[in-house]
Every structure is written in C-alpha cells, then in structure tokens.
Chains A and B, each alone.
Chain A
Amino acid sequence: MYRYDSYDQSIVDARVEEFRDQTQRRLAGALTEDQFKPLRLMNGLYLQLHAYMLRVAIPYGTLSGTQMRKLGEIAGKYDKGYAHFTTRQNLQYNWIKLADAPDILAELATVEMHAIQTSGNCIRNISSDQYAGVSADEVADPRPWAELLRQWSSFHPEFTYLPRKFKIAVIASDDDRAAMRLHDIGLKLVERDGVVGAEVYAGGGMGRTPMVAPLIRDFVAEDEIISYLEACLRVYNRYGRRDNKYKARIKILVHEIGVEEYKRQVEEEFAHMRTLGLNPPVEELARIRAFFAPPAYETDLSDTIDRSDRAFALWLDRQVAAHKAPGYAIVNISLKPIDGIPGDASAEQMALVADLAESYSFDELRVTHAQNLVLPHVQKADLFAIWQKLVAAGLAEANLDLITDIIACPGLDYCALANARSIPLAQKIAARFADAERQADLGELKLKISGCINACGHHHAGHIGILGVDRRGVENFQLLLGGSGAEDASLGQITGPGFSEDGVVDAIEKVTDIYLAERTDGERFLDTYRRIGMTPFKEAIYG
C-alpha cells in the first residue's frame, strides 16, 4: 500500500488545522453559512436531512487494517455506531456534529486519511478495481496509476473549480469491476509491444443524462499520462458548460461538440502539454510502484479446501474468487444481509474486518463500488476460520452479484437531494428473493436503486435498475432493464409508468419470471433481455 511521505502528511495536517480554524470562526459567528459552506464541502462535510454528513476518501478503495479500525472507532466515538460505504468506494458518517468535524479529520490524518475533494467541482476520489494486484488477468496493477493520479489531482490549482465534479476510474483487466466507462474519464491499462499504457475513455457518467464513455485514445504510455489527462481536463475546463449545472459535466461537452472534435482538441493541447515537462520522472513512478509490490506470499501452499460444511461451501462458491498466487484466494465480504442496509457496517463489524485484514490478508482490504468489502490475499487454508468469524458478525451472506446484492444509495432516509427512499425498497426486494436457491437459480442479476436522478445508486447500470421519483409528494419508482456497468457497459431502458413501493417489487418478480421462462442455457438475465428485448417484459408487467 502507498504510505504518506512527509509532504503528504504535512499538507493533510495543515488542512486539518485550517479547517479547525474555519469551523471555530463559523461557530463564533465570524463566518456566515454562505461563506462557510464551500469551505466545509471542500472538506467533505455536507448538511444532510438529519445532521452533518462527513464523506471520507478511500483512495482507489484500498485500506489497511489500521485505517479500517480507525474508521470504526470514529463511528463509535463521534457517530451512532455505524457508517456507510458508498458507490465511489468512500465512507460516509451520517450523524456528525460540526464542532467534532476537525477532531475527526485530525484522527483520520493519523492514519493517512482525509475527506479532501470528496465534494465540490474538482477531481474526486480515484476509483479502481477491487481485485487490483490480485487478479490473474490484469496486465498490471492499476493502483500505482491511480495513486499517481491521486497525487496529481490533489489540490491541483487549475482543476479546483471545474465546471462540475470529475470522476476517474482505472482498471487493468478485461473484466470491468469498476464501471470504468461510466466515469468522466476511464483508463483501462493495456499492453502494446511489451509496454503498459492506457486506453482512455472520456465523457461517461450517470446522473440525469447517462452516457457510456467513448474511446478517445487507444494508448497513452505511463510516463505521459499526466500530460494527456491535463490536456483532457484543460479542454473540458475551457469549454464545459458553466452556464447550466445540468449540462456542465464533460459528457455533455463531448456529446455536444462530438467525439472527434473533442479528441482533436485534446490532441492539440496534448502536443503542447507534453513539451512542458509536467510528467513525473521515471524514478517517481518507480517509487510509487514499489509501494504496491506483491506481499511475501508463502509458497507450496495447498489448494485443497474442506467443503464438508454445506453452508461454508455455499459461501465459498459465491463469495470467494480466484487469486493469482497459488494457495491464496480473494474473499468478498457482503454488506448486504437480507434484512440489513446495503453498504452499512457497524463499528464492531469494521473492527472485526480490520482484525481479519491484519491476521489473514497482509493487513490489506478493499472497498467495492458495489458497497461490499474484500480481503484480497487470503490463504485457502484460512477460509473456514474467516467464514466462521464472518458468520458470528453477520457478515457471511452468500449473495455476491445475486439479486439481493443490491446497490442502494442512502435515499430519502438520509439524503437531502433524494426524492424517494431506496433502502426500504432494497429490503423489500431482498426479503422477496431471500431464498438462497431461488437467488442462485436466477444467477447473476445486478439490481441497483437510486433515490433520485443523480444516480448515486447507479440505477442506469443495473441489469434491473430502479429510480425513485416524487409524484406530487408521493414516492414512485421507475423500473429500468438492461443496464450494465461492466465490460459490456450499457444503459438501462425505462419499462413504462412507475410503481408504488410494493408495486415495483411485484413488477420485478414478473420480470424475473419472464427471464426464467425465456432463458437458454447459460444465459444471464442481461443476456436474455438483450436477446428478446423489452417487449415480453413490458407485457408481463403492464399487460
């Protein structure tokens, strides 16, 4: 894992003290809310429905056990004993007191964490593949690239006030586990003639105008990626629609001027930028990469696992993924218990996961954009012991990528922007489909719920997506089918008129019935939908 150098630590510490002063001035009346609001937002502090909410950055979703333990301690000490993992691999505390916020940031700084650039029209937390560094099919570990971009984008003076927020993802496998093409910029690492570089996609995103990012360059070498992204951002910063908040994302610019014209302008800018000496020296790239060297895996480990416990075997088959090192496995920890809240974890659960990371996973864990956790380096011989501890903590649900592994934004239960509640609906759907055999029979089925058009719950990218809307003060839910945030990225299509909360659960059941009736061997829900189209599903729902 990357560790702060003295420069990283000093700027984070300085930012904490700056915010402490700003907060004191606000509480003393020296700053109005209009003056203070942009300052607190720059430090991840929002005012939500019930209280202040603090969003903490988890760079590319990687955490140490120490960091996770600290996050849990803060949940217990300053919040109400829990926190929420988000679809940007971040963490949110829901019940923060303003006066406590500087102390929380100071505690985060002791474990090399912060909340900087988790809000505002700047480059947000860089997201990545939760299997980075351990997936057998990746061309390189994407995290050194993500870390380089984190350093480049942190406090970047030219990109502090962009037309709108800006999200970047980096992956390195053909399997896209980070919704890369639904980002403002997505990088996919590829190898050409023995050199690792990046395919660059620009202009993707969800929100009220969802778009899948087109490819704008098929190869940029590592030692020029900063110049190239500077060029991408410069063109956006210059021509992005600052006149209209709803048309200010880069996707609108790319769409309005066209992919070819955007590419042309970026190339022109890139030709200029690459002469300015902005790219980091090779030594710095090597320094960053060294932090992500594989841990000291033991050799000659057995791959044999005792599957005699049926519940363990079910969990094993669903939650454990192949690791590139013999004798090791990747453990996915579900934060989607059937009667729980998607993405929520208690302080005690966070402490347990920290312990597991330290004891079994080279002190490392990951947060996924699907609001789950990952232990990336686990010896297969330890899987049963880990499972037993997860069972005791209520963290052993075996539903990865199944219909109850629901992405849900906080919705109207917490969020000031939301129009409808996401979480109660997620719970009703999970209850309806709770039967393990039924879920397994349905197979991979990614269901995603957003409580408003801002799409924090990624509803556009759900095989089944749900968008909560406000219909004259009453919650109403639109149903979408056919979206994907994976390597086969696509945008879901609305089925038709919306439903009540109970009505949309019934509609989903009808949709899954059609899938079961129409699927051919090996077809996922998404495959069947793409083959037979919307009509049979609409007829079942509305007919």
Chain B
Amino acid sequence: MKILTGNDLASGDVIWWAGDGWSRQVGDAADVGAQGDELARAEEAALRVVGAYVIDATITDDGVRPAHIKDRIRALGPTVRPDLTLKPNDADAGNWVI
C-alpha cells in the first residue's frame, strides 16, 4: 500500500493521512493509491502539512508498517527515548522499528 506522511506545519509533529484528515498514529494511515502526490500538494497548500511524501507500507498483525526503518522511527519516535515515543509505556517498542 501507499501511504502519505509529512510534518504538521505548525507543530512539526509527524502526521499520517488517514483518509479524511491527518493523524499522529501510523495505524490510522490510509492507502492513498496513486493520489498521494496530488493530495500532498493540496494539503501543503492548505497549510496543514509540510514536507509531505508518499511511502510504501504493508498491513501486518501490528497494523500499518512503513517499509523503511526511517519512517518506522518517524512513526514511533526516537527509540532511545521510549518515554517520548507514541508508546511510552512499552519499553520494547523500539524493537518494532527493526
């Protein structure tokens, strides 16, 4: 599947296109098919996202999994600061990015 990601213009937070808006959770990411680039341009013009780009991802038992480790780290947060990730109570969350 193709999913669209970027950073929230104002906060800088990593965000994922969820079909009807943006989400902080990669698990909400929607398949954008071939519409990603057009969607990115529109959302950037609407000042909702900066640096938007389309990536490959798969659906796994754990949910949406970006194909590349860089995007998995973006999805989770810094693996060396579990307290600052989206799973602060999971000390092993960093293993998900590998």
Interface on A for B, CB 8 Å cutoff? 26-27, 29, 33, 47, 49-52, 80, 94-99, 341, 412-414, 418, 421, 423-424, 427, 473-475
Chain A neighbourhood of B12, CB < 8 A = 47, 50-52, 95-98
* CA A33 to CA B78, docked complex, whole Å: 25
Least CB distance, B66 to chain A, in whole angstroms: 10
Tell whether A33 pairs with B50 under 8 Å between CB atoms, given A27-B10, A80-B84: yes
- Is there an interface contact between B78 and A98, defined as CB atoms closer than 8 Å? no
Chain B neighbourhood of A473, CB < 8 A = 67-69
Least CB distance, A509 to chain B, in whole angstroms: 22
Chain A neighbourhood of B50, CB < 8 A = 33, 47
Q: Does B36 contact A (CB under 8 A)?
A: no
Chain B neighbourhood of A50, CB < 8 A = 12-14, 74, 77-78
Quick one: which of B7, B14, B77 has the most chain A CB within 10 A?
B7
Chain B neighbourhood of A412, CB < 8 A = 69-70, 73
Q: Does B51 contact A (CB under 8 A)?
A: yes
Q: How many B residues have CB within 8 A of the partner chain?
A: 24
- Is there an interface contact between A97 and B47, defined as CB atoms closer than 8 Å? no
- Is there an interface contact between B74 and A474, defined as CB atoms closer than 8 Å? no
Chain B neighbourhood of A29, CB < 8 A = 47
* CA A99 to CA B74, docked complex, whole Å: 21
* CA A341 to CA B79, docked complex, whole Å: 11
- Is there an interface contact between B69 and A98, defined as CB atoms closer than 8 Å? no
Q: Does B59 contact A (CB under 8 A)?
A: no
- Is there an interface contact between A47 and B7, defined as CB atoms closer than 8 Å? yes
- Name 25 interchain pairs, CB-CB below 8 A, sorted by A: A26-B9, A47-B12, A47-B50, A47-B51, A50-B14, A50-B77, A51-B12, A51-B14, A80-B84, A94-B78, A97-B12, A98-B11, A99-B10, A341-B80, A412-B69, A412-B73, A413-B73, A413-B79, A413-B80, A414-B78, A421-B79, A421-B80, A424-B80, A473-B67, A475-B69
- Is there an interface contact between B7 and A51, defined as CB atoms closer than 8 Å? yes
Q: Does B44 contact A (CB under 8 A)?
A: yes
- Is there an interface contact between B80 and A423, defined as CB atoms closer than 8 Å? yes
Least CB distance, A294 to chain B, in whole angstroms: 41
Least CB distance, A340 to chain B, in whole angstroms: 9
Residue of B nearest to A417 (CB): B70
Least CB distance, B24 to chain A, in whole angstroms: 11
Residue of A nearest to B46 (CB): A29
Least CB distance, A215 to chain B, in whole angstroms: 41
Least CB distance, B4 to chain A, in whole angstroms: 16
Residue of A nearest to B52 (CB): A33
**Using an 8 Å CB-CB cutoff, how does the interface string of B78-98 with A read, 1 for contact, 0 for none?**
111100100000000010000
- Is there an interface contact between B78 and A97, defined as CB atoms closer than 8 Å? no
* CA A47 to CA B53, docked complex, whole Å: 14
* CA A418 to CA B13, docked complex, whole Å: 19
Chain B neighbourhood of A423, CB < 8 A = 80
Chain A neighbourhood of B47, CB < 8 A = 27, 29
Chain A neighbourhood of B67, CB < 8 A = 473
Residue of B nearest to A97 (CB): B11
- Neighbour of B73 across the interface among A49, A52, A94, A341, CB < 8 A: A49
- Neighbour of A33 across the interface among B10, B14, B51, B79, CB < 8 A: B51
* CA A51 to CA B14, docked complex, whole Å: 7
- Is there an interface contact between B80 and A474, defined as CB atoms closer than 8 Å? no
- Neighbour of B79 across the interface among A95, A99, A424, CB < 8 A: A424
Least CB distance, B70 to chain A, in whole angstroms: 6
Residue of B nearest to A418 (CB): B70
Chain A neighbourhood of B78, CB < 8 A = 50, 94, 413-414
For the complex of A and B, the 8 pairs showing the least CB-CB separation, nearest first, are A51-B12, A413-B78, A52-B12, A423-B80, A97-B11, A29-B47, A49-B74, A413-B80
* CA A217 to CA B94, docked complex, whole Å: 51
Least CB distance, B37 to chain A, in whole angstroms: 15
**Using an 8 Å CB-CB cutoff, how does the interface string of B44-77 with A read, 1 for contact, 0 for none?**
1001001100000000000000011110011001
Least CB distance, B58 to chain A, in whole angstroms: 13
Chain A neighbourhood of B81, CB < 8 A = 341, 413
* CA A99 to CA B47, docked complex, whole Å: 13
- Is there an interface contact between A49 and B70, defined as CB atoms closer than 8 Å? yes
Please give 20 more A-B residue pairs, beta carbons under 8 A apart, in addition to A27-B47, A33-B44, A98-B12. Answer: A27-B9, A29-B47, A33-B51, A47-B7, A49-B14, A50-B12, A50-B13, A50-B14, A50-B78, A95-B84, A98-B11, A412-B70, A413-B78, A413-B79, A421-B73, A421-B79, A421-B80, A423-B80, A473-B67, A474-B69
